[in-house]
Every structure is written in C-alpha cells, then in structure tokens.
Amino acid sequence: MFNNFHYAYIFGCLFFSVIWICLFSLRKDLRKEMLIMSILVAPLGPLSELFYRRDYWQPQLFDGRTIGLEDLWWSFLIGGITAVVYEEFFGKKYLKRHLKKHSHWMLGMAALFILWMIVGNRIFGFNSIYVSSLGFLIIGFVSLLSRHDLIKDAFFSGFFISILMFLMYFTLTPLFPGVIQKWWMLKNISGVVIFGAPLEEIMWGFCWGFMAGPLYEFIRGLEFSRKRITN
C-alpha cells in the first residue's frame, strides 16, 4: 500500500504506543513501574542497534540517520509494556512486605550483557539476534533461581510480548509490502516469515519478555498477592 518505507518503523512505534497508553490508563498502581522501566530500557535501544544493524536488519528511518529517534521511542515502549503486561492481564497486585532487593542487578547484568554481545557477535561471529535472545534467556533463568515465584511472570510475559510482536508485523506488512525483504538480512537468519512476521522477531519477543517481565519485581524484591484485582 505504501511504497515509502521511511514510515514503517514509525508505524510500528505507533502500534506499541497504543498498547502502552492503554496499559498505562488501566492501572494507576502500575504507572510508576511502567515509567521507570520505560526510561531505563529506552537508551538500550540505540545501543543494541550498533549490533543489530551489522548483521540482522537495516531499517530506513524517517530522518535518514543510521540510528534515530525511532530506536529510542520503541525501546521506551517495549520496556514499559513488558514490565506490566503480566500484572495487567492477570490482575496481579503487590504485597506490602518486600523480599531481598537486588538494586545493583540491572547495572551488573547490563554490563555483562554488553560483554556477552561483543564476545558472541563481534569475536565469534554469531548473528546478533541469536546472541541477544540467548543472553536474555540466561539472565532470566539466573534471576529465577532465587525467585521461583516469578516463573509464571517470566513465561507469560514472554508469551504476551511474542504475540504482540507477531500482531504488529501482521498489521504492518500488508501496509508496507516488501519491507521484510528490504530491511531484514534474511540470508543471515532462518528466512522464515510467519504471516509477515520474521521468526526471529517472535523468538526475540519471547526471550525479551521472559527476562524483562519479572525484572522490576526481582530488583525491588516485590511479591504478588494471591488476590486478583477485579475492578
């Protein structure tokens, strides 16, 4: 429908913006968590693109830059959505008591993740999407070793984000036919496209959600109440 792919990334951001706004509006008690995680994750988008644009994809940005506002915008959105999608869908709320906090966890894991990307992608030459996805899973499993109560949060968050990734591409590709073939380096990955969504995007969504879904609870030492919010 649209031949100008410069607007495709913006469309993807708008798709997730609608979801972010809906989640933010539904639960006042989760707004702080959404904002914190959105702000923390936002800078990671442009940073990660230093790897992804080498061997995974090369999207056209609105302003013609290599890395632009869209990367920051999309990361802001995915950070907030992932943080609360499980709580919103299942009506979860937090107990007043807190478990042990892991305040320095995110900084330490961020540093190790960057090292992991450099070693796996730059030194050993594995594709950045697979290296990052595996890294997310490893960090997620390590955090769950001491917080078994967050296992459902991790798996359902991963499931929800992978579904959202699929729906976004399912909606986007009919509007921008050929964008997947134009932007993605399909020869470097599986090349499998499911109803417009590259398989690796769905995989990445699950792995990211698995790690980031329970991240706020893990860092803050928060526990879920067994009572479900019904209003």
Q: pLDDT tens digit string along 173-208?
A: 999 999 999 999 999 999 999 999 999 999 999 999
pLDDT of 220 higher than 70: yes
Q: How far apart are CA 178 and CA 5, in angstroms?
A: 9
Judge if pTM exceeds 0.85.
yes
86 and 92 Cβ atoms separated by less than 8 Å: yes
pLDDT band at residue 107 using 50, 70 and 90 as cut-offs:
confident
- Helix, strand, or coil (residue 226): coil
User: Which pLDDT belongs to residue 110?
Assistant: 86
Q: Which residue has the tokens 């632009």?
A: 68
25-29, 104-108, 188-192, 220-224: which has the minimum mean pLDDT? 104-108
pLDDT of 213 higher than 80: yes
Q: What is the mean pLDDT of the chain?
A: 92
204 and 184 Cβ atoms separated by less than 8 Å: no
pLDDT of 218 higher than 90: yes
Percentage of the chain with pLDDT > 90? 81
| DSSP string covering 2-35 | ---GGGHHHHHHHHHHHHHHHHHHH-GGGHHHHH
pLDDT tens digits for range 16-65: 999 999 999 999 999 999 999 999 999 999 999 999 999 999 998 876 66
User: Which pLDDT belongs to residue 231?
Assistant: 52
Can you say how many angstroms the Cα of residue 197 is from the centroid of all Cα atoms in its chain? 15
